[in-house]
Amino acid sequence: MPARTVPQHVVVVGAGLAGAKTVEHLRARGFDGRLTLLGDEAERPYERPPLSKGYLLGSAARDEAFVHGPGWYADHDVDLRTGCRAVRLDLRAGEVLDADERRWRADAVVLATGSEPRPLGVPGADLDGVHQLRTLPDSDALREALTGRPRVAVVGGGWIGLEVAAAARQAGCEVTLLVRGPAPLLGALGPEGAELFAGLHREHGVDLRTGVEVDALLPAGTEVATGTGARRVGAVGLVGGDRVEADVVVVGIGAAPRVGLAREAGIALAGADVGGVAVDAHLRTSVPQVLAVGDIAAAEHPTLGERVRVEHWATALHQPETAAATLLGLDEPYDRLPYAFSDQYELGMEHVGHVGARGYDQVVVRGDLAGRECVLLWLRQGRVLAGTNVDVWDVVDHVEALVRSRSVVDPARLADPDVPWEELAP
């Protein structure tokens, strides 16, 4: 990468984990210019996994979610502006405009705007008692709602939906999980992993209904939702006429990357199959002085050989180090493999690697699938693409070594727990 002029003022748009880590890495690497961090939430930057895990369960304190202590930003000469929503990038003037018509001069901009929950576009979605889970106040409200042990309906069979269902059951609630497809997590884990988690939730008393579609949220005591106002939800209406009684409804049907600033500035976006803002391996957008990190960054991956966008904590945690290096003129491309984790009931899992658009042709199970103590490995033409370890630990490095090696492996040896991992990758 050719040497570039180090900017004197960097404005980071988005004060979540990715934004907070960007300013942290810039200061840690000796950047002594001006740093401004703009966040539209009232809170200082925090991490999102606790919102559906420890904090929602009541096992972690609220303060544990914050990325830095309250005095860190002032101590490191970072101008943190909370409650400040950026509305436009003026690339010609080199400025970021906010909703209060203030202009923030910038030699370089890092977009860390994250994602926003997809809305449930049905009548009654605005009723009281309907929740989404993206922000700390969202988690506060849902945590409070669960204390009365209400009947809970969770709409969506992704990671958020399943983690919320687990938290609600552990809070003593009656839970119905509504999944549009044939199984939860089917797109993420395939049939084998999906059935593993479906069985886990059913064993813990969740009424898991697959192949269903919501057509309305119904106010308590009525059959249809009309108009607006402070009315509480009482049931979920399904296509076909069935209804699920519920005092609390949680909508977890995915998230969309917040790319409006980039789009309106004429910055190139990735294709619809990936989504987000197109960036190179150094996280530069089509406008070199603008970078993108976290949920919105659809990055060219040196090892995987394709553009990858990952809406998980590890990406927001680690991409900022590459962004800081790029701003300082260093050649350090982002080459970490996608990683995710989840905790549900007594079960924990980690996933590393990327199946990609070309898909897989084989799944190898190493361990006890029925007992939920195993590693699932996805292969294409004999090469390991990704792996998920379920209540089996200290194997992520081994799976990653197999993915990076691109070696053809013997599926029988891969499936045999008695064959050491070190003998599987050259």
pLDDT confidence of residue 222: 56
d(CA 222, CA 235): 9
Q: Give one DSSP letter per residue of 46-80, joined into a string.
A: B-SHHHHTHHHHTSS-GGGGBSS-TTHHHHTTEEE
How do residues 274-331 score in pLDDT, each as one tens digit?
999 999 999 999 999 999 999 999 999 999 999 999 999 999 999 999 999 999 999 9
- In percent, the amount of the chain with pLDDT more than 70 equals 97
pLDDT confidence band for 2 (50 / 70 / 90): very low
Q: How large is the greatest C-alpha to C-alpha distance in the chain, in angstroms?
A: 67
pLDDT at 230: 53
Percent with pLDDT over 90 in the chain: 94
Q: How confident is the model at residue 187 (pLDDT cuts 50, 70, 90)?
A: confident
Q: Does the domain spanning 9-116+255-327 belong to CATH 1.20.1260.10?
A: no
- DSSP codes joined into one string, 290-324: EEE-GGGEEEEPTTT-SEE---SHHHHHHHHHHHH
CA distance 54 to 41: 21
Give per-residue pLDDT as tens, 203-225: 999 999 999 999 999 999 754 44
Look at residues 46, 40, 42 and name the one whose alpha carbon lies nearest to residue 20. Answer: 46
Tokens of 157: 């069979």
pLDDT per position as a tens digit, 245-271: 999 999 999 999 999 999 999 999 999
Q: What is the DSSP string of 224-240?
A: S--S-SS-BEEEEEETT
Q: Which CATH architecture has domain 119-251?
A: 3-Layer(bba) Sandwich (3.50)
pLDDT of residue 228: 46
Question: What pLDDT was estimated at residue 357?
Answer: 83
Per DSSP, the residues of 246-260 read -SEEEE---EEE--H
Token pair belonging to 210: 């697959």
Instruction: State the pLDDT at residue 425.
Output: 75
Give Cα separations from 155 to 119, 184, 223, 234 (angstroms): 11, 11, 19, 14
From 123-132, 168-177, 417-426, the region with the lowest mean pLDDT: 417-426
Is residue 236 within 8 Å of 155, Cβ to Cβ?
yes
pLDDT of residue 355 exceeding 80, the answer is yes
Rounded to an integer, what distance in angstroms lies between the CA atom of residue 90 and that of residue 96?
A: 6
Mean pLDDT on 76-81: 98
Class level of CATH domain 346-423: alpha beta
Answer whether 169's CB lies under 8 Å from 205's CB.
Answer: yes
Residue 3's pLDDT is: 37
pLDDT in tens, 379-401: 999 999 999 999 999 999 999 99
Residue 17 vs residues 65, 100, 162, 298: alpha-carbon distances, Å: 10, 24, 23, 17
Type of residue numbered 73: Y
Q: What's the confidence (pLDDT) of residue 282?
A: 98
Q: What is the pLDDT of residue 1?
A: 27
Does residue 409 have a pLDDT over 50? yes
Q: How far is CA 288 from the centre of its chain?
A: 26
pLDDT in tens, 19-69: 999 999 999 999 999 999 999 999 999 999 999 999 999 999 999 999 999
Q: Which residue has the higher pLDDT, 229 or 336?
A: 336
- Cα 84–chain centre separation: 23
Residue 223: the pLDDT is: 47
Q: Is the pTM of this model over 0.75?
A: yes
- The pLDDT of 187-196, averaged and rounded, is 91
Instruction: Please give the pLDDT value at position 185.
Output: 94
What is the overall mean pLDDT for the chain? 94
Asked if pLDDT for residue 202 goes beyond 60, the answer is yes
Q: List Cβ neighbours of 93 (8 Å cut-off, separation of 6 or more).
A: 103
Q: Which amino acid is at 275?
A: G
Q: Compute the distance between CA of residue 226 and CA of residue 80 in angstroms, rounded to an integer.
A: 42
Give the integer Cα–Cα distance in Å for 402 and 408: 9
The number of CA neighbours under 13 Å toward the Cβ of 169 is 22
pLDDT at 119 over 90: yes
9-116+255-327 shares its CATH topology with 119-251? yes
**Boundaries of every domain in the chain:** 9-116+255-327, 119-251, 346-423
